[in-house]
Amino acid sequence: MKNLLKRPGVQAFVASVICILLGLIIGYIVLLFINPQGAWQSITDVVRNFFTWSRPPQRLKQFGNTLAKTIPLIMCSLSILFSYKVGLFNIGAAGQYVAGACASLYAALAWGWGWLPCMIFAIVAGALLGAIVGFLKSYCNVNEVISGIMLNWIALYTTNTILSNVKETASPYTLYLNKENPSALLPTAGLDQLFNKNTYVTIAVPLALIIAIAVAVILTKTRFGYELRATGLNKNAARYAGMAENRNIILTLMISGALAGLGASMLYQTGYMRWECTQSSVPAMGFNGIAAAFLGGLNPIGAVFSSFFIQHITDGGQYVNTNYYSSQISDVISSVIIYLCGFVLFIKLTINRMIKPSKEKKGEKK
Amino acid sequence: MESPYAIEMLNITKRFPGIIANDNITLQLRKGEIHALLGENGAGKSTLMSVLFGLYQPEEGIIKKDGVEVQIKDPNDANALGIGMVHQHFKLVECFTVLDNIIMGVEPVGHLGFLRKKEAREKVLELSKKYGLEVDPDAKIEDITVGMQQRTEILKMLYRDNEILIFDEPTAVLTPQEIDELMQIMRNLAAEGKSILFISHKLAEIMAVADRCTVLRKGKYIGTVNTKDTTMEELSAMMVGRNVNFHVEKKPAHPGDAILEVRHMTVASKTHNNNAVKDVSFKVRRGEIVCIAGIDGNGQSELVYGLTGLEPLTSGEIILDGKDITKASIRKRSVAGMSHIPEDRHKHGLVLDYSLEYNMILQTYFESRFTDNIGFLRRKNIRNYSDKLIDQYDVRSGQGSITMARSMSGGNQQKAIIARELDKQPELLVAVQPTRGLDVGAIEYIHKQLVAQRDAGKAVLLISLELDEVMDVPDRILVMYEGEIVGELDPKKTTQEELGLYMAGAKRDEVKA
Amino acid sequence: MLLLIQYTLIFASVLLLVALGGCISEHSGIINLGLEGIMVVGALGGALVMSNLSTLPPALMVILALLASIILGMLYSCLLGVAAIHFKADQTLVGTAMNLLATAAATVFVKAMNTAMNPDNHSSEIEYVAGRKMFIVNINGFEFNWFMPLAVIVVILVYLFLYKNKLGLRLMACGEHPQAADSVGINVYKMRWMGVLISGALAGMGGLCYILAGVSLWKFENGVAGFGFLALAVMIFGQWKPGRIALAALLFGLFRALSNTYMGFPALVSLNLPSNVYNMMPYIVCLIVLAFTSKTSRAPKAEGIPYDKGSR
């Protein structure tokens, strides 16, 4: 038991579970305050999400929906953890995600492009926005958090303006992809059959998993990853070792942006969602990506699971009893979880302190 | 009966996990005396002082002030007892004025905590006159000399009416002339009845100024002696437990052709408007060690930045082994045969949260022996290489190649850097204060490595602030003062006094490249 | 034109209050990226007082609304204080979490409150028409807001606090060189707490001011549209100095005001730009300004670095 707890991976997992439990408990307390009667039912509904459906086929279909939305979240959390390894906090992932949505939808609806070119266009758009942040950071010393936030808003308003050209006349929403240009929809490759004909489950699912693994490999096994992590851990030493710091910062943020942009394409090109051209706030996907990245212990594979969990409870929010509560209770829970992730270092220290006495005793025996 | 002692620390023991930092140490400071505390790095001096300041609570032992036992729980308690300290690294806020730094924490205030600076200024000027501590109260710390910063620190103690003054390695940053001034100030203070504790490992200074000396070694109390009744050799033996070679053993140098040639190098300063390095030219030849000496902050750091490519030159050129590298990147210079032992090993030399093996390849990771064609690391080769260096350079660590650099001792961290830099087979080794903060054994080892490098026909450029090192290790000394090279000296023919005059800018020659 | 001046002044007041909050926090050594969230919470406190206590005499109501926003802002800033001062948490992460949490929690709270009063009302809006009137004096069509003189007073107070008061001196020492502050017996943790709490109070006030700027109804799902971050940009542009921050706030306020009032300028209307361009304006200006001013930043040296008494 104690040997198990010594492993950093296990410690990260334990810390994440503690954060989740505390987050849920706090969510439950909030519900209790609002109305004690339905609180337990509602918090369990949040956690059960699609399991609240009694019929298995329905469950499967809803599971597919959650999965479809998990994919962009995975990409956003990969985006954030990738740049965090270099010591950069890419809060601009939200805006890069918006840019990706703008590019893929506009290419699909205005130009009638196929799914792959649309996807690549989204990647380029996200990368471009990331490159701006990187450029400002490395050549003008602008804090990436502030420039990221500013670009989030700029991207939002620009996207609203551009996508207004391809929206329905009667509503603020963009045109239906499956009616206007089905060729831009991502292929399902038979995956829809596994989820009760849920066509939102596409090749994006395996693709996202492959990318997560690729990110893990790049970070730990390659020269590029070696440089990035060295820069993140000690910027000065990396410079002394002749690593091209500015180039690496820009490159990292470009890759981050590309990941977030790709994430948007992986959602909007399933036809699951349409863009609302009057929306006045930046989609939460990029911010939830922060939660998923940190909850996953800043590990790409961990991010896959934590993304699913975050999306799971976010979707679960819609099952709360809306006579008393609102679905934003899941946002409360996930933001509490992000907050608690700030204490992960402390939790790990505490675990280490708990297992240490036994270690010292061993030393004395020798 | 009144106690003759201002402060007494009796039988102090302080343990940290795995180590006894202070083992039954007794230190008695008489009123009005200058008492030296001597010991190597890691002997327990700073722990003892931290106990005195209430930063640590000792497991055993008591502290007495004027013969009465006192409890010191935090620096405020120490301050209330009249204990003040000039830290080795000054505790001054750089963007504040001298006056603000002096009054900080004990500000004279009127209603609602509003400052009454006029009152404070008068008191400061009065003190500065009384003890001959010249300062400009309205200058900002970042704009004044190190000497004046130190005087500010002393005034800080005097402003608080401290009776017990502690000086932690106060001479490390001063010129020999400034050191003399400081000694005089200390004597003045003692004559006015202040009791002074003088922490140092420089024997000559202790012999010159202290009345008594307490010696620590590896956390243990060795003894207290009157300086009048002892010799430097005896103190030294007490400090290290054996007789140490003060001189580096080396054969005469046989310099060959120039490896490094610097012509009219000028480097802009990051903090000031004028240039930090001004039109500097010099050569380093095969088979010699050239030392750049000088007081900290006279352009040595910027010279190294310019040389290694961290900062661009404003003008001038650098020739390495016949090739012009003036505009080359850091990486190109490294590949062209320049190795660099940086001044701050934690900040620049190592990635502390990387394993030892990853640190060993920090300069060479991109070579084909460590990275394959598609950019993957060759982990087996890295491990083998690291194991080889660990063995060859005797780098000691808990788990060998996979040890985290952070968990290693300072000496072994430095050994790892030296292994990495020397194994590159550089034509030129730039070593910046390579022995800073290390114990005698490690210092000896590093000096031997530098000499071995020279004897192998390589060029070595040493940048040092330590006078002993400057006198012993190199074959030639170049003295830097305010960004210029003001003198070239032969260590065999010059004296510390002459060196000091150059370092202080009191003497200068026209030096040709 | 009058309208432009009115909006410039009121938005400048918001930015000024919040930026000064950020400035004091950073001078103590803590980067407060949660300003945005604190603003939301402060706005909520003020809105609740305004919508529920509008029958009170105006002066009392105004003071109560202010107090509510200040107190809630301070309480909320404790989240940052605990995490950043005592647990050495990543200040960027904690600030981001606070921003997300504030909007989500305010939405949940307001919805629950609305639903409790009327089971069919699931909106996250609070209306405060009567309350808003008490903050405003109408002078020939110019809506004079009491926050305008308040902001000026706060600048003066912050200036006096930082440069003339012993607490300000000590606070700034903690942001520049906490070890030095500690060595002369200043409690770094206490000073940092003070910095965080003052920034909470000012940002809370700023949040209230923001929802009073143009409307009498606030939808809490929308948060405060990046104003907390604009305030940080104002602070950086103002080089962490109160006087310069005031000027920077006026500049940014002007650009923000343009998006509300450009319709009143025939020259601007004739350009025929989409309204989104004006919406983007403050953010674009902010990026450009930062690109040119960040290089020579004079940020407090120890900001963002957790202070550990043991390491010295």
| Average of per-residue pLDDT across A66-89 | 93
**How many C-beta atoms surround the C-beta of residue A308 within 10 A?**
19
For residue B362, the chain A residue with the least C-alpha distance is A241
Tell me whether residues A30 and C105 touch, CB distance under 8 A: yes
Question: Predicted confidence band at A188 (pLDDT cuts at 50, 70, 90)?
Answer: confident
Distance CA B351, CA B356 (A): 9
For residue B105, the chain C residue with the least C-alpha distance is C184
Question: Predicted confidence band at B158 (pLDDT cuts at 50, 70, 90)?
Answer: very high
Q: Which of A218, A219, A223, A348 is the best residue to mutate to test the B interface, defined by the most B CB atoms within 10 Å of its own CB?
A: A223
Q: Which of B14, B77, B86, B93 is the best residue to mutate to test the C interface, defined by the most C CB atoms within 10 Å of its own CB?
A: B93
Distance CA B168, CA B171 (A): 9
In this structure, are residues B503 and B479 in contact, taking their beta carbons and an 8 Å threshold? Answer: yes
User: In the prediction, which pLDDT does B1 show?
Assistant: 57
Distance CA B480, CA B280 (A): 9
| Average of per-residue pLDDT across B134-155 | 89
Closest by alpha carbon to B39, among B28, B47, B31, B51? B47
Least confident of A78-87, B116-125, B269-278, B421-430: B269-278
Ranges of each domain in chain B: 5-240, 246-337+425-513, 350-424
Question: Predicted confidence band at A360 (pLDDT cuts at 50, 70, 90)?
Answer: very low
Residues of chain A with C-beta less than 8 angstroms from the C-beta of C215:
none
Query: For the segment A219-229, what is each residue's pLDDT rounded down to a tens digit?
Result: 999 999 999 99
- Closest Cα of chain A to C291: distance in Å? 5
Q: For CA atoms A25, A26, A29, A35, give the dihedral sign.
A: negative
Residue B507 confidence (pLDDT) above 80:
no
- Closest Cα of chain C to B346: distance in Å? 15
User: In the prediction, which pLDDT does B509 show?
Assistant: 77
Tell me whether residues C183 and B92 touch, CB distance under 8 A: no
| B426 at A interface, C-beta within 8 A | no
Domains, chain C: 2-296 (1.10.3470)
Look at residue C128 and give its three-state secondary structure.
coil
**How many C-beta atoms surround the C-beta of residue C60 within 10 A?**
11
Burial (CB < 10 A; 0-12, 13-18, 19+), residue C54, is middle
Residue B16 confidence (pLDDT) above 50:
yes
Burial C253-292, CB ≥16 within 10 A → b, else e: bbbbbbbbbbeeeeeeeeeeeeebbbbbbbbbbbbebbbe
In this structure, are residues C227 and C36 in contact, taking their beta carbons and an 8 Å threshold? Answer: yes
Tell me whether residues C93 and A140 touch, CB distance under 8 A: no
User: In the prediction, which pLDDT does A336 show?
Assistant: 92
Residue A212 confidence (pLDDT) above 90:
yes
User: In the prediction, which pLDDT does A92 show?
Assistant: 94
Tell me whether residues C226 and A334 touch, CB distance under 8 A: no
User: In the prediction, which pLDDT does B271 show?
Assistant: 61
> Which residue among B74, B85, B91 sits closest to C180, beta carbon to beta carbon?
B91
pTM of the model: 0.85
Tell me whether residues B105 and C186 touch, CB distance under 8 A: yes
Distance CA A69, CA A73 (A): 7
Task: Compute the half-sphere exposure of residue A162: CA atoms within 13 Å on the CB side of its CA.
Answer: 18
User: In the prediction, which pLDDT does C311 show?
Assistant: 46
Long-range contacts of A197-200 (CB under 8 A, 24+ apart): A197/A61, A198/A60, A198/A61, A198/A64, A198/A65, A198/A68, A199/A270, A199/A271, A200/A64, A200/A65, A200/A68, A200/A270, A200/A271, A200/A272
Closest by alpha carbon to A260, among A69, A76, A99? A76
User: In the prediction, which pLDDT does B511 show?
Assistant: 54
Higher pLDDT, residue A9 or C5:
C5
**Portion of chain A with pLDDT greater than 90, in percent:** 51
Query: For the segment A270-327, what is each residue's pLDDT rounded down to a tens digit?
Result: 989 899 998 888 888 888 898 899 889 889 999 999 999 999 988 888 888 877 788 8
Q: Which of residues 9-28 of B touch A (CB under 8 A)?
A: 17
Query: For the segment C243-302, what is each residue's pLDDT rounded down to a tens digit?
Result: 999 999 999 999 989 888 888 888 888 888 888 888 888 899 989 988 988 877 778 888
Residue A365 confidence (pLDDT) above 70:
no
Distance CA A99, CA A81 (A): 19
| Average of per-residue pLDDT across B43-59 | 86
Residues spanned by the domain of A197: 2-365
Distances (CA, A) of C64 to A111, B379, C103, C150, C208: 57, 66, 23, 15, 12
Q: Among A133-147, A344-358, B168-182, name the most confident range.
A: A133-147
Least confident of A42-56, A305-319, A347-361: A347-361
| Average of per-residue pLDDT across B327-347 | 90
What's the structural domain count of chain A? 1
Q: Among A169-173, A362-366, C139-143, name the most confident range.
A: A169-173
Residue B19 confidence (pLDDT) above 80:
no
Separate counts of helices (H) and strands (E) for chain C: 13, 4
When the pLDDT of each residue in chain C is averaged and rounded to a whole number, the result is 90
| Average of per-residue pLDDT across A151-167 | 94
- Closest Cα of chain C to A208: distance in Å? 25
Tell me whether residues B354 and A229 touch, CB distance under 8 A: yes
| Average of per-residue pLDDT across B462-486 | 88
| Average of per-residue pLDDT across B94-102 | 93
Q: Per DSSP, which regions of B302-359 are E strands?
A: 315-320, 323-324, 338-341
Tell me whether residues C112 and A146 touch, CB distance under 8 A: no
> Which residue among C33, C115, C280 sits closest to A324, beta carbon to beta carbon?
C115
Q: For CA atoms B441, B446, B447, B452, give the dihedral sign.
A: positive
Q: Which of A84, A89, A332, A333 is the best residue to mutate to test the C interface, defined by the most C CB atoms within 10 Å of its own CB?
A: A332
Least confident of A22-26, B274-278, C66-70, C183-187: B274-278
For residue A134, the chain C residue with the least C-alpha distance is C291
Tell me whether residues A338 and C105 touch, CB distance under 8 A: no
For residue A234, the chain B residue with the least C-alpha distance is B351
Q: Which helix (H) or strand (E) holds A256?
A: helix A245-268
**Portion of chain A with pLDDT greater than 70, in percent:** 96
Higher pLDDT, residue A208 or B106:
A208
Residues of chain A with C-beta less than 8 angstroms from the C-beta of C81:
none
Give domain B246-337+425-513's CATH number out of 3.30.420.10, 1.10.3720.10, 3.40.50.300, 3.90.330.10: 3.40.50.300
Query: For the segment C13-35, what is each residue's pLDDT rounded down to a tens digit?
Result: 999 999 999 999 999 999 999 99
User: In the prediction, which pLDDT does C150 show?
Assistant: 94
CATH code of the domain covering residue A39: 1.10.3470
Q: Which of residues 93-112 of B touch C (CB under 8 A)?
A: 93-96, 100-101, 104-107, 109, 112
User: In the prediction, which pLDDT does B121 show?
Assistant: 93
| B273 at C interface, C-beta within 8 A | no
Is the domain covering B5-240 a CATH 3.90.870.10 domain? no
- Closest Cα of chain A to C273: distance in Å? 11
> Which residue among A224, A227, A236 sits closest to B348, beta carbon to beta carbon?
A236
- Closest Cα of chain C to A180: distance in Å? 26
> Which residue among C169, C298, C312 sits closest to B104, beta carbon to beta carbon?
C169
Supply the ipTM of this predicted assembly. 0.88
User: In the prediction, which pLDDT does B496 show?
Assistant: 77
- Radius of gyration of chain B from its Cα atoms, rounded to whole angstroms: 25
User: In the prediction, which pLDDT does B311 show?
Assistant: 87
Work out the angle between the directed axes of helices A93-110 and A144-163 (0-180°, nearest 10).
20
